Chain A
């Protein structure tokens, strides 16, 4: 009898821990989501084939388009205007050697997605093209364009370190899918 109670207690405790980890995972995603949907991140993860610009995420002027490789079309390649580094002065293009959007085959759309939809997308290898969730961490932690987003213009609401910590926590605690 005592043994049965002990096992039940353990199961209830386990259940409580699981629930708590799940709640913490969802809470971490909710924080990271604020960054994912911030213009510095979302502007390069648009719903269409035109990148977005500015803090109001308007369609990129000049009508530039993604192109197959995410680097633009014809004489409107990203690197036609975006240099290897930011240019000094107002309204001049920011820069990085690898300025680009996701490719046409894998556009990785963030725009318009709820936390639940975005988290589900991240767990879908067809969406990310990543072999494991660890590669999401790799992307947010080390991708140079992601890093650039934390150094230019209106900054996302978390620092890069805080953001990476939240993504790690979300994944580490089971990559729970938010309710909405």
Chain B
């Protein structure tokens, strides 16, 4: 099966119902994306499929054929730079486990909404669970990332 991940083309020999998460971690060695629940409950495994946030633990790899997967390793600069700067500035992560998913979900929000309100952040992020409850810092960091993104463009 032909896959495009972070702009690179891969030929993988896997069953068509293997979750995308397994393929990117175990076959392609891209370990940034995390396994949390395996049941679409927590958001730790969020990646982008043709720009849309999906939970890769339940999405069969057949869904990605002919489409573009982007993982946290390949997030483009316009989004990754402000997010990284804001996350560092606010010192968001505690254990860090959920943060890939948080950032990939936040990236979709920032791409689609230049001025996210607290309500927009709730709407976009309430499905991403953080066991360490870093929610307030995530909220702050998204506001900051939105500012940084605007000022750099």
Contacts and interface: CB of A to CB of B under 8 A. Distances in A.
B123 A74 contact: yes
Contact of A80 (B52, B112, B126): B52
Contacts of A93: 40, 58
Interface stretch (B2-10, B84-92, B102-110): B102-110
A75 B63 contact: no
A83 B108 contact: no
A: interface residue count bin:
20 to 34
B127 A62 contact: yes
B: interface residue count bin:
20 to 34
Taking chain B's interface residues, is the majority helix, strand, or loop, or is none over half, making it mixed?
Answer: mixed
Contact of B127 (A76, A79, A87, A92): A76
Interface string A45-69: 0000000000000000111110000
A180 interface: no
B58 A92 contact: yes
B82 interface: no
B53 A77 contact: yes
A161 B63 CA distance: 32
B78 to A, nearest CB: 17
Contact of A83 (B41, B60, B112, B126): B60
Contacts of A89: 39
A73 B112 CA distance: 10
B58 A81 contact: yes
Nearest to A92: B39
A79 B60 CA distance: 12
A74 B104 CA distance: 11
A73 B122 CA distance: 11
B46 A75 contact: yes
Interface string B95-135: 00000000011001100110000001011101110000000
Most buried by B among A62, A65, A80: A80
B55 A80 contact: yes
A84 B53 CA distance: 16
B53 A75 contact: yes
B54 interface: yes
Interface string B4-43: 0000000000000000000000000000000000011101
Contacts of A79: 52, 54
A131 interface: no
Contacts of A74: 53, 105, 108-109, 112-113, 120, 123-124
A75 B124 contact: yes
A125 to B, nearest CB: 30
B59 interface: yes
A83 B58 contact: yes
A81 B40 contact: yes
11 contacts: A62-B126, A62-B127, A74-B109, A74-B124, A76-B105, A76-B126, A77-B53, A79-B54, A80-B54, A92-B39, A92-B58
**Ranked 5 nearest A-B pairs via Cβ:** A75-B53, A62-B127, A63-B126, A74-B124, A81-B40
Given A65-B123, A79-B54, 7 more contacts: A64-B127, A74-B53, A74-B120, A75-B43, A75-B124, A76-B126, A81-B54
